[in-house]
Structure 1
Amino acid sequence: MATKNITRILLALVAIAFFYGCSKDALDYKDYLDGKEKIYPGFPEKVTASPGNYRIKLTWKASPDPSVSRYMIYWNNAQDSLALQAPDRSVTNVSVIISNLVEYNYSFTIYSFDKAGNKSVPVQINNVKVYGDSYKTSLTNRFLVTSAPYQLDDNGITLQFERPDTINIGTEIRYTYKDGTVRQAKLGPDANSIRLADYKVGTKVYFRSSYVPVQSAIDTFYTAGFDSLSNIMVPVDKSLFKPLKLTNDVGTYSSETSLSKLWNGNKAPTGYPDIFHSDDNTPLPHHFTFDMGKQVANLAQFEIIGRDCCNNPTKFEIWGIADLTGAQTQSPADSPGWTAESNGRGWKLLKTVERSDDGSAPFKVAFPDGLPTVRYIRIRVISVASGDAYYSNISEVSFWNK
């Protein structure tokens, strides 16, 4: 019985000691907080940053705490700040754009506050990149395919671009329509070519590309300016072409195979009689001459299409001159002195062409830069694919200038 009483007394003493110990800790806590309970309003969650042009957009999930009345955002080691009133409780996401920044990596700290001035624990988002002129100067317009930047047809032009090598948004294209008005088109980042219908042949085409540094960016960045596709090769108007018959020019096989068949619009090898067919009175090398109808500057390209079977030129020379006064050569085309006489009379060798196939398919060659203005063209055929000593056959010739 005595043992039980002693046990009860000991338990009572422990309880008293525990009570006073807890009371002292609680009082110490109150003293540390100046007698007030510390309150932390709900903090922003899921903060994201979207970069822009000298600005940034911060977005976060609004705190569910109904006591939150405003948010404060700090950066530059708290030297700069921005206050934002908390939105209506029905708004679940909060966003703000901070402008007038410099191109730099930033860290932002966000607090929520209640009306009593209590603030939440800090929420930080670090290494936020802001973009500006340095980024813009690194951008270039999309590159055109060097080997074939465009293709002209009867109704327009098709531009060929290389694939973009960064986050390209699009390429704006400005061009002159056939009625003289300026029009716009847009090439998307996933497309490598664009056709401009009813493009006015000979006019410049301008293009400018746009980019974003990251997919979440709020601003689109443009290159410094438009590049232009100038010096576009323009087909020389073959409706002005006229046959000539100068001294020692080769004749034609028949009236059906005259020189005019060289510019009747063939797009592929054709057969007799829809061809130029030389006669058999003048051996190779032989030449023929025609008038382009007007003086043409900056010849850039030539195309020849052979016959569908035989006697197609595989080696020939293209000569040109602006005025025929005193230009008629007297030496036969197979004479050793023919070249010297041609040069002496003002003819200019524009291009020597050699092809290794059978000479039938359309075959383009580029003229060198710096050629003189010419009006009259002379083609001196040196050899043909069939090896014939007299005949040469051609379905079509075409010229382009810049």
Structure 2
Amino acid sequence: MKHFRYISGMLLLAGTILAGCNKSDNYKGFPSEDDTKPGAVSNVRVVPFNGGAEISYDLPKSPNLLYVLAEYRINDQQTRQAKASYYDNKLIVEGFKDAKPYDVTLTVVTRSEAKSDPVKVTVTPKTPIYKLVRQEVKVQPDFGGIYVSALNPEKKSLGVIILAKDQYNDWEVIEQLFTTQDSIRIKVRGYPSVEREFRVFVTDKWNNLSDTLSVTLTPIFEKALDKTKFKQYQLPTDQRDDYGWIMPYLWDDRIAEPYGFHTPDGSNMPQHFTFDMGVEAKLSRFKIWPRTGSFVWSHGNPKRFRVWGSRAPNPDGSMDGTWELLGEYDCKKPSGSPLGTNTQDDINAAVAGFDYDFPSAAGKVRYIRFETLETMSEDFMHLMEMTIWGAE
């Protein structure tokens, strides 16, 4: 008797669920033993887009439909499938290598796995995005390497791969970026100022590969300045350090906590700190590493800041004519998402650190003044490390 009450309760529950389902009129139930061959789709329409197409159709009147299956090749090696349930009358086929005709086979499948006669349709996708992006790739000489840029206005998932020859004269990948950002910017560093060939190609998430762009150019000379010569140069208007996070930690080549620089709570903005590089140099670029972990893109990490240079600063700390503005910079989150929301691209960018260029017209300087204009969320500032490149 108890078993009967249990089963009755389950049937009542099932009836309640079905009664509340928006698609209860089309409910197909459990797998069917009806192996009747279904009719085929008809009135097929194709709307192409970059690298793919939307295919719509009319479904047959067969009462036991489960889904429509599309089978197709995207290139010479890969076969793909796409499915659409009987609730819909369209599906997407994508990942095609070229803007040329491709055959797609559409088959109606029932709950008993009975299949209709196949219907073959030809789709001609527009030029795939990875090829459009490849056409826009630009490569320029940069300090210690090259600067690769491109636009990805559709924000599709793409990879940009950069190669150069190794010591054995074999081609190797020296940098790669996989992103969905609309603006692609890649800097490759660490090369001497001698003529060298670089190659660049673009790939997509289906492993389609563009043709290769080959360029021969000469990186601009630079070197990382010797951080053992750096020392704090405290001016009267500078912020002091706090929490034992002292300024020399900024150039000790340690990024892990607690080896960073931290100003006191309640510090007013803007605020400055100053250091002596120990040599006069024409500067090419610099890199800063923010605090990450639970503080990534938040807390006292700089959001907007300026960098000033001087050969002989006024000892009273005035921002007068002894200082040259080398640049005003932003730390921009790749995703643009609000505070507290971070994508993997955001996290990866912060962990890698932020690269910035100095203006080529700037003269030689010896003293650096870092002016924080705004942090991510607090009234103090912290940084983990800073490296500067240039030529003495």
TM-score (norm 1): 0.41
Bigger Rg, structure 1 or 2: 1
